[in-house]
Chain A
Amino acid sequence: MWIRWKLVPVIIITAVLCLVLTMQVHAHGAKIEYVVDMMVEIVAMYESGEPMSGAQVVVYAPDDISTPWLTGICDDEGRYSFKPDTSMAGTYDVQVRQAGHGDIVHIPVGDGGTASGSSGGYGVGQIALMSVCVVWGFIGTGLYFLRRKA
């Protein structure tokens, strides 16, 4: 199996919660401040496993899917990380390209910056449609037998 042209990189999405703890301790009483911040990290590699080091990265935010929101370069290990704007919930599209090969990955980011990424699976609409089809199957079967009795 040959890979480089298929190359469409295997992009592993890792949602990383980076805890940035800012602590202030006072002599009288105590005060602790903290910030929970979310970073999204992708790892782009060829199907051979070779990292796409130096690949171009373009990130599109949910509010404008045609204009790049952020651009960057993968590191030597094919990694690139960015901090989504938590006020913009939706899908962040991340495109990675190198030497005529590339791929795009779609990363859902919910309110509060919670990443809920998964590739494959079924969306809500698909599940609803499947449910309707199943119900209709039962109804149709029932109608069929009712008609034969009549």
Chain B
Amino acid sequence: MFRKPTASLCIIVLASVCIIVIGCGGDESTTGTLQFYANGEDFVRQGFVSKDGWSINFDHVYITLADIKAYQTDPPYEPRSDGSIDGKVRISLDNIYTVDLAEDGANASPIIVDECADAPVGHYNAISWKLVRAVSGPAVGYTLVMTGTAEKEGRVVDFTISIDEECENSCGEYVGDERKGMVADGGTADLEMTFHFDHIFGDAETPLDDNLNLGAIGFEPFIDMSKYGEVDINMAELHLGHVGEGHCHCLCE
């Protein structure tokens, strides 16, 4: 028979084997700073030509992010597993952030979203975040708002494309020129949420029969609503969210 003190002990033991879950401001003795960036890449900053020949330049690309978490996973999280991320250490940002991926022009750096100054040391090799509807600011009511100008064969149009679909991205390790997310004691590391806008509009520099362009919507449907009606966008299939070149598992409402 278990007495109450024994039951309490069981609870303590159980809690001790659970993962370390902290927000920013943890009390680990060895910590560093982990910065979170959002990157729309040169497609957003410098513009590009869509698969259907429209030269697109963005004034603003507002994207709203929430529930941003970074994890130390072992074994490493595999986004194609379709499972949730199970990290032995997890840190999170509690705020909702609307950032402009086109901010500061063609040669701008990725946008810093926030940082966690007390991240336990280790390799943060997985990240998750949600695209949520903004509750204030220039993109209120939408998860993604793109404004700018497009030109094709002398025809110039100003556009505003607003998307309200909410999604959750679960990603493994950043894939790029360098490895990211390695927090040393007293040091600073970073992670990046990368957004591939060529997946929405296609890319004229990629063969038209490439799967990238076959899956992309192109730009034409967005400027001729009378012909196409409301553009049906399935964000889960477009896979906007990445970690550098690495894949994410995307679930949308």
A6 and B247 form a contact (CB under 8 A): yes
Cα A133 to Cα B199 in complex, Å, equals 42
A126 within 8 Å of B by Cβ? Answer: yes
A136 and B14 form a contact (CB under 8 A): yes
* CB closest residue in chain A, given B19: A129
A82 within 8 Å of B by Cβ? Answer: no
Which residues of chain B are within 8 angstroms of A120 by Cβ–Cβ distance? 78, 81
The size of the chain B interface, using a CB distance under 8 A, is: 39
Cα A146 to Cα B7 in complex, Å, equals 12
A103 within 8 Å of B by Cβ? Answer: yes
Which residues B151-182 have CB closer than 8 A to chain A? Answer: 172-173, 175-176, 178-179, 182
B221 within 8 Å of A by Cβ? Answer: no
B199 contacts which of A5, A66, A126, A139 (Cβ < 8 Å)? A5
Which residues of chain B are within 8 angstroms of A103 by Cβ–Cβ distance? 175, 245-247
B46 within 8 Å of A by Cβ? Answer: no
| A 101-144 binary contact with B (CB < 8 Å = 1; else 0) | 11110100000000000011101011011001100100100110
* CB closest residue in chain A, given B10: A139
Known: A65-B123, A146-B1. A128 touches B17 (CB 8 A): yes
Which residues of chain A are within 8 angstroms of B173 by Cβ–Cβ distance? 104
Cα A134 to Cα B75 in complex, Å, equals 22
Cα A48 to Cα B176 in complex, Å, equals 22
Cα A89 to Cα B14 in complex, Å, equals 31
A101 contacts which of B10, B123, B245 (Cβ < 8 Å)? B245
A8 within 8 Å of B by Cβ? Answer: yes
Cα A148 to Cα B25 in complex, Å, equals 42
Cα A111 to Cα B107 in complex, Å, equals 48
B86 and A5 form a contact (CB under 8 A): no
| A 1-27 binary contact with B (CB < 8 Å = 1; else 0) | 111111110000000000000000000
> Chain A's nearest CB lies how many Å from the CB of B133?
25
Cα A8 to Cα B93 in complex, Å, equals 28
* CB closest residue in chain B, given A131: B17
Known: A2-B215, A125-B88. A66 touches B175 (CB 8 A): no
> Chain B's nearest CB lies how many Å from the CB of A1?
8
B76 and A106 form a contact (CB under 8 A): yes
Which residues of chain B are within 8 angstroms of A5 by Cβ–Cβ distance? 196, 198-199, 211-212, 215, 239
B211 and A3 form a contact (CB under 8 A): yes
Which residues of chain B are within 8 angstroms of A6 by Cβ–Cβ distance? 211, 239, 247
Cα A61 to Cα B206 in complex, Å, equals 34
Known: A2-B211, A100-B245, A142-B2. A66 touches B172 (CB 8 A): no
A60 within 8 Å of B by Cβ? Answer: yes
* CB closest residue in chain A, given B4: A143
B74 within 8 Å of A by Cβ? Answer: yes
Which residues of chain B are within 8 angstroms of A139 by Cβ–Cβ distance? 2, 7, 10
* CB closest residue in chain B, given A136: B14
A97 within 8 Å of B by Cβ? Answer: yes
B211 contacts which of A48, A60, A97, A125 (Cβ < 8 Å)? A48
> Chain A's nearest CB lies how many Å from the CB of B225?
24
Cα A125 to Cα B16 in complex, Å, equals 13
Which residues of chain B are within 8 angstroms of A128 by Cβ–Cβ distance? 17
| B 39-61 binary contact with A (CB < 8 Å = 1; else 0) | 00000000000000000000000
Which residues of chain A are within 8 angstroms of B7 by Cβ–Cβ distance? 139, 143
Besides A104-B246, A106-B76, A146-B2, 18 more A-B contacts (Cβ < 8 Å) are: A2-B211, A2-B212, A2-B214, A3-B215, A4-B206, A8-B246, A46-B211, A65-B123, A66-B179, A100-B245, A102-B246, A103-B246, A123-B74, A125-B74, A126-B86, A128-B17, A129-B17, A143-B7
